[in-house]
A and B are shown apart, each in its own frame.
Chain A
Amino acid sequence: MSQQVVAAPVAKPKWRRWGGASDAPESAWGKARERLAWTLVAPSVLVVAVVALYPLFQTFRLSFTNQKLASNDPWRYVGFAQYEFLLRNDGFQRAFRNTVVFTISSVAIETVLGVVVALIINSQFKGRGLLRTAMLVPWAIPTVVSARLWEYMYHGEYGVLNDLLVNKLPQLIDWIPFVGGTLASIFPSDGIAFTARPNTAMAAIVAVDVWKTTPFMALLILAGLQIIPGDIYEASTVDGASKWQQFWQMTLPMLRPALLVALIFRTLDAFRVFDVIYVMRGVAVETVSLAIFAQQTLVNEDRLGQTSAASVIIFACIGILVLIYTRLVRVEEA
């Protein structure tokens, strides 16, 4: 929803050029054509206005009030007081920091792994179709279910991960001189409760997000790879370029538009993260995200005005990110 609204200014100039002043003559025919165009887009404009613009406007309006969700108390407009309160609030600042850490680390890792995976499945080998399908499985599982699955796998008492690290792996590498005993000696014998430790909780959650979303990144990047013509590689091979040079000087630059689109999608998604964190760690301060903070403000404290202000801040952050990315895309195009 938010992407559409912010992206609108980009589309506008093109529309004007097509419909009116610059090239079309100021004739009756031109006017009729413009009317027809307006009539045709009217339904979609109406739908967007009702389902996107109106709620957005309401959220903005509510963020300047002190309204409660379920109370008959009188309310009033409070100006920017909600924003001021939030920006000074410890809980909000913590949620903001967590969200930034989550977004940067998950998107960075997903992008690198996504490029690697896309390069692998773009090459010719037997069973490639099967692999492409299998790769998408983590992406196809609903986040709540996969977060629950991982929560059990991470579990300090009966999680499979601890079982591997404490029991299975040390036995497996036992015979290797020097290295063999090291793992057993550094890893605590009663395991680690990965989601419970303040210093491992966020990393554990980022890992789940990476597991789930890398296939999506890989898919978008694969699409970018497939439009690169194969003959330029042949030509450069003839010219004596190494595979390494081909990757850095041909593949990567030509992949940049696709990469930027993938980055936009993922960054926006990651910045609004709710489900994976809420399922795995609830409202714990080490991992609470902005979206969870806003949800708690509404559900637990009933503060409709404050939660609206928090949502507007999330919206504004996403808007800024989109502007930066679209600017990068345009620089790319120019």
Chain B
Amino acid sequence: MQDKYSEEMSALLAGNLSGSMSRRDVLKRASALGLSASMISYLVRSNGTAAQDATPVPDPTAGRTIVVPQGLRTDLGGTRISAVLADPTDPNGPFLEAAIAKFGEATGITVEFIRGETSATDRLQSYRQQWAGQSGADVYQIDVIWPGVVAEHAVNLLPTLQDLASQHFEAIVANNTVDGALVGMPWFTDAGLLFYRTDLLEKYGLQPPTTWAELTMAAQTIQDGERGANPSFNGFVWQGNVYEGLTCNGLEWQVSNGGGFIVEADGTVSVNNPQAIAAFDRARGWVNTISPEGVTTFQEPDSFNIWIAGNAAFIRNWPYVWAASQAPESPIVGKVGVSPLPKGDGEGARNADTLGGWQLMVSKYSKNQEAGIEFVKYMCSPELETAFAVERSMLPTIASVYDAPEVAAASEFIPRLKDVFQGGAVARPSSVTGEQYPEISAIYYTELNQVLTGAKSGADAAAMMESQIKEALAGSDL
């Protein structure tokens, strides 16, 4: 609950700062959080860029670009299923409702749209409780790191949807496959990316960095130059707090340095190797030089706030930063570039961008599995992913959608990311570690944070990670 509270608080502050929330929304959410009147009035006053106060009306144009795919079954008419597809704050709601309505018209299947918990940790907990009672919804939205955890409760989609699966990005399909069973169909995706200030690179005569060494140098040069006029300027901001986001950052550092995937696909614990350790120590070197000392407590909103205020030259973050930076009221609009994250310099150096995103699964306890599978087939079809990208800027999981002319017409950003998902995207070791993943990730980010704060050396932390992860995988029965 605390976790959710603080997430809601950050969402409120971030939404308010970025102006993506209307005044009414800010008021409503702030009073729900129990903020004092003076705090709320401060929020509303500072919300200069927010939309005009208007009662949100259901968007009648939502879903206007949806083309219903061919070949849906019509013999399941009259069936009712339920699907957990979003959280209560998800702005995609109207689109999803429109998509469900069109699905109903085409197949006669009624889908009840359920909104789940906002915090991913809470959401998984509630799914698990429903499954422990062998009950719940028919279709669930699942995070990219959950396949291993949810596998025993999911219908294998491979026998029925193999053709569709083969159109989706291989890395994501592989991530969603546990012991040969396709646990979830990729729906939309996310990846860690490097955003940079094109105006500042130009000012200091620099090229967009392709290696971490170049990035370090460029960030230092720009920071030294800008600090005179702006003491709060930072070269590079990212996420170093003790949470799942640090696992995403850390995986990028070590994979790009040829340092392996923490736990390899065959189950070997590989984290304790010189290239991974070098990557950890390099990140430690950024703290208090090109990155602020407090970066070891940053989550996404913290680094984003510094970036959007124009106080950073580089940021590692998820794709949503693009839309927010290019919004008309953003102080850095038109000054932003994006690329895959840099390569390291060790043997096997490559681009590495940690995969995020959501999949759809059908519950094994559903009494209407066929209707559920049909709904998944519809939602994850190229047609629906195209409409989702055009109307909502959600990133498709099908390569051909990135080339679709209507996607290119709607966004100059999405087509650029095709290479990221085909080449650099890296999945966290969640499928191979199964139910143990949350614990293993916690070991990794707890140790790595201590390297960043200087409490431990990279080598000590890597050795500790190795022994603890091995212990966790051995599966103590306590």
Contact = CB atoms under 8 A, between A and B. Distances in A.
Interface string B1-26: 01101100100000000000000000
Contact of B2 (A191, A278, A306): A278
A193 B294 contact: yes
Interface string A173-208: 000000000000000001111011110000000000
A132 B415 CA distance: 63
B132 A70 contact: yes
A69 B293 CA distance: 38
B442 A300 contact: yes
A301 interface: yes
A193 B292 contact: yes
Contacts of B297: 193, 195-196, 281, 284
Contacts of B293: 156, 190-193, 196-197
A317 B125 CA distance: 29
Nearest to A195: B297
A190 B294 contact: no
Contacts of B228: none
B292 A156 contact: yes
A282 B243 contact: yes
Contacts of B5: 144
A303 B297 CA distance: 27
B117 to A, nearest CB: 12
A69 B5 CA distance: 23
B478 A145 contact: no
A289 interface: no
Contact of B33 (A145, A155, A301): A145
A141 B39 CA distance: 11
A316 interface: no
A190 B231 CA distance: 8
A296 B442 contact: yes
Nearest to A189: B231
A148 B311 CA distance: 22
Given A144-B6, A283-B242, A300-B439, A155 B294 contact: yes
Given A197-B453, A282-B241, A82 B478 contact: yes
Contacts of B477: 66, 78
Interface in B440-478: 442, 446, 449-450, 453-455, 476-478
Interface in A41-94: 66, 69-72, 78, 81-82, 85
Interface in A278-308: 278-279, 281-286, 296, 299-303, 305-306
A229 interface: no
B129 interface: yes
Q: Which among A144, A197, A284, A286 has the greatest number of chain B C-beta atoms within 10 A?
A: A284
B306 interface: yes
B292 A81 contact: no
Nearest to B449: A284
B334 to A, nearest CB: 25
A196 B453 CA distance: 7
Secondary structure type dominating chain B contacts:
helix
A191 B227 CA distance: 14
A18 interface: no
Nearest to A154: B294
Given A144-B5, A156-B294, A300-B438, A283 B446 contact: yes
A29 B13 CA distance: 68
A144 B478 contact: no
B58 interface: no
A198 B477 CA distance: 33
Interface in A238-288: 274-275, 278-279, 281-286
B205 interface: no
Question: How many of chain A's residues touch chain B, expressed as a range?
Answer: 35 or more
B232 A157 contact: yes
Contacts of A142: 34
Contacts of B34: 142, 145
A71 B132 contact: yes
A158 interface: yes
B478 A303 contact: yes
Contacts, number: 112
B6 A148 contact: yes
Given A144-B5, A198-B453, A299 B131 contact: no
A148 B132 CA distance: 35
Nearest to B445: A283
Q: Which among A196, A278, A303 has the greatest number of chain B C-beta atoms within 10 A?
A: A196
A156 B298 CA distance: 11
B121 interface: yes
B433 to A, nearest CB: 13
B36 interface: yes
Interface string B118-132: 000100010011011
Secondary structure type dominating chain A contacts:
loop
A92 to B, nearest CB: 12
A70 B446 contact: no
A70 B438 contact: no
B196 to A, nearest CB: 19
B404 interface: no
Contacts of B442: 283, 296, 300-301
Contacts of A284: 241-242, 297, 446, 449
A48 B311 CA distance: 56
B469 to A, nearest CB: 13
Contacts of A72: 132
B156 interface: no
B47 interface: no
Contact of B128 (A69, A190, A196, A306): A69
B294 A286 contact: no
Nearest to A284: B242
18 contacts: A85-B476, A144-B5, A144-B9, A145-B34, A148-B9, A157-B232, A157-B306, A191-B293, A193-B293, A196-B294, A196-B453, A278-B3, A285-B446, A286-B453, A300-B438, A301-B439, A302-B128, A303-B478
Interface of A: 66, 69-72, 78, 81-82, 85, 141-142, 144-145, 148, 155-158, 190-193, 195-198, 274-275, 278-279, 281-286, 296, 299-303, 305-306
Given A158-B232, A193-B293, A306-B478, 20 more contacts: A70-B128, A70-B129, A71-B435, A78-B477, A78-B478, A141-B36, A157-B232, A157-B234, A157-B294, A157-B311, A190-B231, A192-B293, A196-B294, A198-B454, A198-B455, A282-B241, A285-B450, A285-B455, A286-B455, A303-B478
Interface of B: 2-3, 5-6, 9, 33-36, 39, 121, 125, 128-129, 131-132, 231-232, 234, 241-243, 292-297, 306, 311, 435, 438-439, 442, 446, 449-450, 453-455, 476-478
Q: Which 7 A-B pairs have the closest CB atoms?
A: A70-B128, A193-B294, A156-B294, A193-B293, A196-B294, A284-B242, A70-B132
